[in-house]
Structure 1
Amino acid sequence: MIQQALGTGWVQSTMSKGVRQSSSNTYLANANTRPNLTVVINAMVVKLLSTASPSKVPAFRSVVFTDGRSTSGTPTFTVQATKEVILSAGSIGTPQILQLSGIGNSADLTPLNIPVLVNSPMVGRNLIDHPLLPNIFSVKGNDSYDDTLRDPVQFQNAINQWAANKTGFISNNLINHYGFARVNSSLITIPDPSSGPNSPHFEMLFVNFWLDFAVSVPSTGNFLTIVSSLLTPTSRGTVKIRSTNPFDAPSIDPHMLTTDFDVTAMRESVKAIKRFAAAPAWSDYVIGPFGNLSATADADIDAYVRQRTTTIFHPTGTASMTSKNSTNGVVNPDFTVKGTSGLRIVDLSVLPFIPASHPQGPVYLLAERAADIIKGIVSL
């Protein structure tokens, strides 16, 4: 049965009794008492070491780490894996560690005098993220949360209420409703980047207050924010280390909105949101678009999109998975790193395309699949 993934509905949140249920207080908490689990805190992985291998393929079964609270002068420690190292540092940390270890594009490593142990050109390439654009409307009355969030006393009272009995608006998700929609097919001049006609191109998130990561809430007024997020971006960015110091943040170029499709889709999401907010059902609440959201010409909407778009923090794809025989990509379908032995990657960096969804569920699915493969339960 084909499920319809378009429309508006309730947000499904991983929460229980006013508290977020994360992978830490579920998966990890359930495993904390296992004798074969050790969690090292305040640790920073420096790099992986190439170890002896009976084959010609470099093995990476040693991990070097140091005190994660300092940037220099701290001792390093090395741990040796008896079977495999599983790297799960995310779409930023994973390519950084690979590059520091000599696994990456020779064009990136050679200028830093890092010996290229495995020339893997796609390490740090194919960075994909969901662009986020807050679209803000002025609203009537004081039913939004703006007044509470502006007032330190009211906000502290809400925090105290949550701390005492896990109730109040802080006990809930910031977003209770969302919607998924598509761009009109006549505007798509490339192969459709979505997974099919029932799959969305963009998402709408409804927030009952001013939500803009770049601009503080005005001192007066009440607001409705309808965030648009492009779920099927075609732009691709990069993650590259800048030095051999693991404490130096890598250079991250999201390269957002660099394709015609991405700009068109974001423009159409703005138009769709404005039509939605102008519907008769909102007439006694929504006053109108705030600021440059009032733009109507395509060029002006494009300028607004470029000025206000940021990230929703869903980086994906920088160690992408391809078929076992492919010379492209970074990992194989069993999560092993191409050109190495003893090393797997299990995080969102391995996905060659970003899911058209929030990635929490997909990354859990990915980890469950990897766990089954590693345990040998699933055969490829």
Structure 2
Amino acid sequence: MSSLQNEKFITANSNLTQFEPSVHGFVGVNSVSLEGSPRRDIEDRLIQTTQEISEFPFNHDMNSGNHLGFGWVQATVGNGVRSSSATSYLGPEFINRSNLNVLVNTRATRLLRANQSLTFSEVELAQDGGSTFQTVMASKEIILSAGSIMSPHVLLHSGIGDSDELAAVGIDVVHHLPSVGKNLTEHPFLWDGYQINSNETFDEANRDLVLAAEQLNEWTLNKTGPLVDSPLVMMGWLRVNESAEIFDRFGDPAAGNSTAHFELFFINGFIGTVPPTGNFMAVGVATVSPVSHGAVTLNSSNPLDNPVIDFHLLQLELYRFIMREAIRSIKRLFSAPAWDRFIIASLTNATTDEELDQYISEKAAGLFHPAGSVVMSARGASWGVLDPDLKVKGVRGLWVVDSSILVSTLLK
């Protein structure tokens, strides 16, 4: 399914200066929209900055295929309501189909083979936290789509993975496939905070239960007000100086010179425990085009135990360099006249490489975009987990279709 078929862009609160219609779909299943409440002063100042400093260009539509610059956030929201798979692909139009059954409070734990062969035909399910188990049989084939963490977790507990690692936790090896769980990629991010001269942030609602209840009531009755929007107001995709010496040693991790090294995203409020007074803006900083690799592994043979997740986030000097440059770019952005008398104080005083590295080490985390742990490779390749048709190498009846197959660079 193409993105145009998937997307149902909602235009009620939009105009052509905020998105490019030719790159969007309008009759799909997932609702997508721009913000539904009035623009805030943060957005106006960001737009003004794109006119004042050439380092920060304006981007009409970051989903057009050219994502560099600052632009409007598009969210999977329709008519003030989140459009998730539960409300779209599993919504009223589809949930009663005769060939669809949805089990709740249920978790796939293992895939089982038929008669000790390498054909997988059954799925073991744990229900209600593992109080009961049952198996279901596939009439044709099994599609595993549990995500970049749980898809390798299920495969490993099914005996598909590195034979030595499986044996070490007491799992019988069914098929030696060492790449399962490897090549896990994620991009590090952190929050930078600023106290601002504004009364348009959501900080007051986080302190005032009466105001929060009023906003919830407005949304409940009319699907209007500040709760129709994500707190994310705008985003920017940027590159560091291409002549930086570090690229001579590590190469450029981006796909090309029109691809970002980092992103900035602006939140109209404080992230964390809100101080008793003041209004705040949080700025998220994330590297993109990840090049380091971690792994999903097991710590026991119990499929209900959590896996061991190592993103290997900050091991490469290149990541730390890009994060430092991204934080410094925020300081340059806020030096524009558009921000005069608006920024009251920065919550981060780090400036030197050493101070920034310490700050990054303390604050960085993953951005909830893991990928690559069930990586696809060429048919017949000695590494990888899936063939190009998404079938698991060396077995029959088993496909994997989720973000675990995606990766920007490979560690064979």
Q: State TM-score, norm by structure 1.
A: 0.86
Q: Displacement, 1:70? A: 2.5
Q: Is the 8 A contact 1:138 1:286 kept in 2?
A: yes
2:232 aligned counterpart, secondary structure = coil
Matches within 5 A, 1:188-267: 188=247, 189-211=249-271, 215-267=272-324
Q: Distance in 2 between matches of 1:183 and 1:105?
A: 39
Q: Which amino acid aligns with 1:87?
A: L
1:13 corresponds to which residue?
75
Q: Distance in 2 between matches of 1:140 and 1:226?
A: 16
Q: Distance in 2 between matches of 1:332 and 1:226?
A: 40
1:279 corresponds to which residue?
336
1:111 corresponds to which residue?
168
Q: Distance in 1 between matches of 2:210 and 2:161?
A: 52
1:127 corresponds to which residue?
184
For residues 179-207 of structure 1, the C-alpha deviation after alignment (integer angstroms, 9 at most, x for no partner) is 00012122323232211100111111011
Q: Displacement, 1:3? A: 4.7
Q: Is the 8 A contact 1:130 1:312 kept in 2?
A: yes
Q: Distance in 2 between matches of 1:76 and 1:24?
A: 24
94, 101, 105: which one aligns with 1:38: 101
Q: Distance in 1 between matches of 2:65 and 2:393?
A: 36
2:87 aligned counterpart, secondary structure = helix
1:372 corresponds to which residue?
none
Q: Displacement, 1:144? A: 2.0
1:289 corresponds to which residue?
346
1:358 corresponds to which residue?
none
1:329 corresponds to which residue?
384
Q: Which amino acid aligns with 2:373?
A: T
For residues 258-290 of structure 1, the C-alpha deviation after alignment (integer angstroms, 9 at most, x for no partner) is 101111111111011121122211012112311
2:406 corresponds to which residue?
351
Q: Which amino acid aligns with 1:31?
A: F
For residues 49-107 of structure 1, the C-alpha deviation after alignment (integer angstroms, 9 at most, x for no partner) is 12148xxx71111111121x234xx3321111121100000011101100100001123
**Unaligned runs of at least 5 residues, structure 2:** 1-63
Matches within 5 A, 1:294-333: 294-333=349-388
2:89 corresponds to which residue?
27
1:205 aligned counterpart, secondary structure = strand
Q: Displacement, 1:353? A: 2.3
1:366 corresponds to which residue?
none
1:70 corresponds to which residue?
129
Q: Is the 8 A contact 2:233 2:268 kept in 1?
A: no
Q: Displacement, 1:216? A: 1.9
Matched positions, count? 342
For residues 333-365 of structure 1, the C-alpha deviation after alignment (integer angstroms, 9 at most, x for no partner) is 1110011110000100011228xxxxxxxxxxx
Q: Is the 8 A contact 2:196 2:344 kept in 1?
A: yes
323, 327, 346: which one aligns with 1:270: 327
When residues 209 and 322 of structure 1 are mapped into structure 2, their CA distance, relative to the original with a 3 A threshold, is same
Q: Displacement, 1:46? A: 2.1
1:200 aligned counterpart, secondary structure = coil
Q: Which amino acid aligns with 1:231?
A: V
Q: Is the 8 A contact 2:377 2:384 kept in 1?
A: yes
1:376 corresponds to which residue?
none
Q: Is the 8 A contact 1:84 1:342 kept in 2?
A: yes
Q: Which amino acid aligns with 1:199?
A: T
1:113 aligned counterpart, secondary structure = coil
1:185 paired with 2:185, answer no
Identity fraction in percent: 38
1:51 paired with 2:108, answer no
When residues 70 and 23 of structure 1 are mapped into structure 2, their CA distance, relative to the original with a 3 A threshold, is closer
For residues 278-325 of structure 1, the C-alpha deviation after alignment (integer angstroms, 9 at most, x for no partner) is 2211012112311xx221111111111111112221111110111112
Q: Is the 8 A contact 2:255 2:289 kept in 1?
A: no
2:8 corresponds to which residue?
none
Q: Which amino acid aligns with 1:269?
A: A
Q: State TM-score, norm by structure 2.
A: 0.80
Cα RMSD (Å) of the superposition?
A: 1.7
Q: Is the 8 A contact 2:157 2:301 kept in 1?
A: yes
Q: Is the 8 A contact 2:170 2:300 kept in 1?
A: no
Q: Distance in 1 between matches of 2:295 and 2:94?
A: 35
Q: Which amino acid aligns with 1:128?
A: T
Q: Which amino acid aligns with 2:184?
A: L
Q: Distance in 2 between matches of 1:217 and 1:310?
A: 20
Q: Distance in 1 between matches of 2:143 and 2:198?
A: 53
Q: Distance in 2 between matches of 1:333 and 1:174?
A: 39
For residues 208-229 of structure 1, the C-alpha deviation after alignment (integer angstroms, 9 at most, x for no partner) is 1112xxx422222211111111
Q: Which amino acid aligns with 1:59?
A: T
147, 150, 153: which one aligns with 2:210: 153
